[in-house]
């Protein structure tokens, strides 16, 4: 399968985002089932040989990486797989004057092996599920075999030292797989652990209350706490390989399969006339992508946290010295404030797209595209600056350019950690309010100067009000425009724009 139509939308979009200053991923291809040699040759000729989207190619060991089937005669559906040769020319087999006479890459109707060009051009790695054996040979943890997950439902794999699951190349730990779960068909879900296996399931095939090791207590809905995911992260981080393969962002389809007519399948600890393999419900799926309701973006946040443990993170930039800002709408005094708090550009596009079963998903809440912000600490005030991609809409708009501040950096105080909310009630074009969260409600604490013009906005808040005294301070903050409501922190993820994205915050660190 090749997804040319989708790629011709995805890759130019990535290039457009890159040109706008956003960080974008790089890509490589993976081909395994079916006529994989044919697919790989097609990719080589139409993408790589043509140097298409070259700035987005992912390189490994100095060459573009290609994940492939090193035993192409065998795939998940069987063996003796045929690989049609698109460059086949019968004359190359019979005509001595043919420029490719006798060359099997042109003279044979079906490929028997990957072409010389493919072998020379790519860094090749054999990628498949981490079975103990595949195609009659030991697979998991063997030299050159990458895995996109481990078959921990198999006792032989489960009993291996986690370090031995890691793929090696030239004796070096090269690749480890990190997945949020395994398969519903093997009963290895998001709450599975090495110590306790798969928890008991209720009538909805969801786990009963289960102990979460990293939390140290038993919880309802354990599928939202990443038990299996964190075990794989901890094992991978201990191995510290050169490469992590995280599987997966989404798989989109929940495939319902039926055994042969009149037969049943062992599924969810019962005999069933059908079964699911990959996606089934909120316990049995490998999705990391955020969901509406349920555990929302827990797996995304867990992934981000562990990626920082693996790759490290840049030090937080620090502000120093007093900087007085005149809140006058001129903005010139912000030019020498070097530290910027940047956000993704172009993320307020509207949505209108068909979904499953005739549903149409629409969202036109994107309004002010916040792209950067600044902070200045004066003797008596903390000043804030925000800039948008286009001209700001009027301050009379609903939930307009909200500023949330976690002054004590304590998530257990305030509203989801936020102690102050600015601009929820804008008095006029020169005055806004600061709301304080106490006793479960927002109440007005002060009125502060505000100015905005064109693409920029500035305001100043007394340090005493925020509790930010002394010659050194730090606090967290976040900008948000046009969330539909402030019912939970997930409200920032669904509508309008936030800076930074989702549930993340900026941290301001200052010393005199």
Decide if pLDDT at 106 tops 90.
yes
pLDDT at res. 357? 86
**SS3 of residue 330 by DSSP:** coil
- pLDDT at position 27 is 97
Beta carbons of 242 and 235 less than 8 angstroms apart: no
pLDDT(254) > 80 = no
Mean pLDDT for 322-346 is: 96
Contact 189, 165 (CB under 8 A): no
What CA–CA distance (Å, rounded) separates 456 from 496? 18
Whole-angstrom distance, CA of residue 418 vs CA of residue 333: 28
253: pLDDT strictly greater than 80: no
Mean pLDDT along residues 254-265: 86
* pTM over 0.75, yes/no: yes
Instruction: Extract the tokens encoding 240.
Output: 């510290």
**pLDDT given for residue 256 in this prediction:** 86
DSSP classification of residue 259:
-
Q: What is the pLDDT of residue 252?
A: 66
User: Which pair of tokens denotes residue 385?
Assistant: 């600056």
State how far the Cα of 83 lies from the Cα of 125, in Å rounded to an integer.
19
Residue 404's SS3 state is strand
User: Please, are residues 181 and 285 in contact by the beta-carbon 8 Å criterion?
Assistant: yes
How far apart CA 363 and CA 351 sit, in angstroms, is: 5
Report the pLDDT value the prediction gives residue 147, as an integer from 0 to 100.
96
Is the four-CA dihedral 30, 36, 39, 45 of positive or negative sign? Answer: positive
- Average pLDDT in the 402-412 region? 97
Closest by CA position to 384, among listed 483, 462, 465? 462
Tell me the domain boundaries of the chain.
Answer: 1-125, 131-313, 318-511
Q: pLDDT tens digit string along 4-55?
A: 999 999 999 999 999 998 999 999 999 999 999 999 999 999 999 999 999 9
Chain segment 423-467, per-residue pLDDT in tens: 999 999 999 999 999 999 999 999 999 999 999 999 999 999 999
Tens of pLDDT, residues 168-222 = 999 999 999 999 999 888 899 999 999 999 999 999 999 999 999 999 999 999 9
The DSSP secondary structure of 66-133, one letter per residue, reads EEE-SSTTEETTEE----B-TT--THHHH-TTSTTTT-HHHH-SB-SS--HHHHHHSEEEEEEEE-SE
Q: Which residues is 65 bridged to in the sheet?
A: 123
Q: What token pair was written down for 250?
A: 């989404």
Could you tell me the pLDDT band of residue 471, with boundaries at 50, 70 and 90? very high
Between CA 335 and CA 61 the distance in angstroms is 43
pLDDT at position 298 over 90 = yes
Distance CA 123, CA 146 (A): 13
Locate tokens 């992260």: which residue?
233
Tokens of 508: 């301001």
- Residue 442 is predicted with a pLDDT of 97
For residue 383, the model assigns a pLDDT of 99
What is the token pair recorded at 509?
């660190």
DSSP tally for the chain: helices H, then strands E: 11, 32
Handedness of CA 145, 146, 148, 151 (dihedral sign): positive
pLDDT at 230 over 80: yes
Contact 84, 38 (CB under 8 A): yes
CA distance 371 to 498: 10
Q: Look over the chain and give the mean of its residue pLDDT values, rounded to a whole number.
A: 95
State the Cα–Cα distance between residues 133 and 251, nearest whole angstrom. Answer: 25
The predicted pLDDT at position 355 comes to: 86
304-312 average pLDDT score: 97
The CATH number for 318-511, chosen from 3.10.530, 1.10.1660, 3.40.50, 2.60.40, is: 2.60.40
- DSSP of 307-328: HHHHH--PPPPEEES------S
CA distance 503 to 302: 12
Q: Do 474 and 375 touch, CB atoms closer than 8 A?
A: no
Would you state the pLDDT for residue 259? 84
């Amino acid at each position: 399968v090749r997804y040319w139509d989708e790629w011709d939308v995805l890759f130019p979009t990535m290039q457009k985002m890159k040109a706008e200053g956003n960080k974008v991923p790089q890509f490589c291809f993976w081909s395994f089932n079916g006529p994989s040699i044919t697919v790989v040759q097609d990719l080589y000729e139409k993408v790589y040989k043509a140097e298409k989207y070259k700035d987005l190619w992912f390189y490994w060991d100095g060459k573009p990486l290609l994940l492939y089937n090193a035993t192409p005669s065998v795939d998940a559906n069987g063996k003796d797989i045929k690989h049609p040769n698109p460059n086949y020319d019968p004359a190359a087999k019979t005509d001595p004057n043919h420029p490719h006479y006798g060359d099997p890459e042109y003279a044979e109707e079906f490929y028997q092996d990957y072409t010389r060009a493919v072998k020379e051009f790519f860094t090749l790695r054999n990628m498949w599920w981490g079975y103990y054996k595949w195609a009659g040979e030991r697979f998991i943890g063997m030299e050159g075999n990458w895995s996109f997950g481990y078959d921990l439902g198999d006792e032989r794999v489960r009993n291996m030292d986690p370090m031995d699951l890691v793929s090696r190349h030239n004796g070096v730990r090269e690749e480890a797989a990190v997945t949020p779960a395994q398969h519903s068909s093997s009963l290895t879900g998001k709450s599975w652990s090495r110590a306790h296996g798969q928890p008991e399931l209720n009538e909805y095939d969801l786990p009963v209350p289960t102990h979460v090791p990293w939390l140290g207590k038993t919880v309802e809905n354990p599928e939202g706490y990443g038990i299996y995911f964190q075990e794989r992260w901890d094992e991978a981080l201990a191995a510290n390989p050169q490469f992590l393969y995280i599987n997966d962002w989404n798989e989109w389809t929940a495939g319902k399969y039926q055994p042969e007519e009149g037969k049943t399948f062992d599924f969810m600890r019962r005999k069933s006339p059908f079964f699911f393999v990959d996606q089934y419900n909120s316990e049995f799926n490998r999705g990391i992508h955020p969901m509406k309701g349920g555990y929302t973006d827990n797996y995304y946040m867990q992934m981000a946290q562990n990626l920082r443990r693996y790759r490290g993170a840049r030090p937080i930039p620090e502000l120093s010295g007093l900087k007085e800002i005149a809140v006058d709408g001129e903005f010139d005094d912000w030019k020498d404030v070097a530290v910027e708090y940047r956000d993704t550009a172009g993320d307020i596009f509207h949505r209108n797209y068909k979904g499953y079963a005739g549903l149409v998903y629409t969202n036109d809440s994107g309004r002010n595209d916040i792209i950067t912000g600044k902070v200045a600490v004066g003797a008596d005030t903390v000043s804030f600056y925000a800039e948008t991609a286009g001209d700001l809409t009027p301050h009379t708009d609903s939930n307009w350019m909200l500023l949330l501040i976690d002054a004590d950096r304590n998530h257990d105080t305030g509203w989801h950690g936020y102690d102050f909310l600015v601009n929820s009630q804008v008095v006029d074009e020169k005055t806004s309010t600061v709301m304080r969260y106490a006793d479960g409600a927002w109440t007005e604490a002060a009125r502060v100067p505000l100015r905005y013009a064109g693409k920029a906005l500035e305001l100043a808040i007394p340090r005493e009000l925020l509790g930010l005294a002394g010659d050194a301070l730090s606090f967290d903050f976040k900008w948000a425009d046009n969330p539909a409501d402030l019912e939970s922190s997930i409200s920032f993820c669904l509508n309008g724009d936030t800076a930074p994205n989702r549930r993340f915050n900026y941290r301001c660190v200052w010393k005199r």
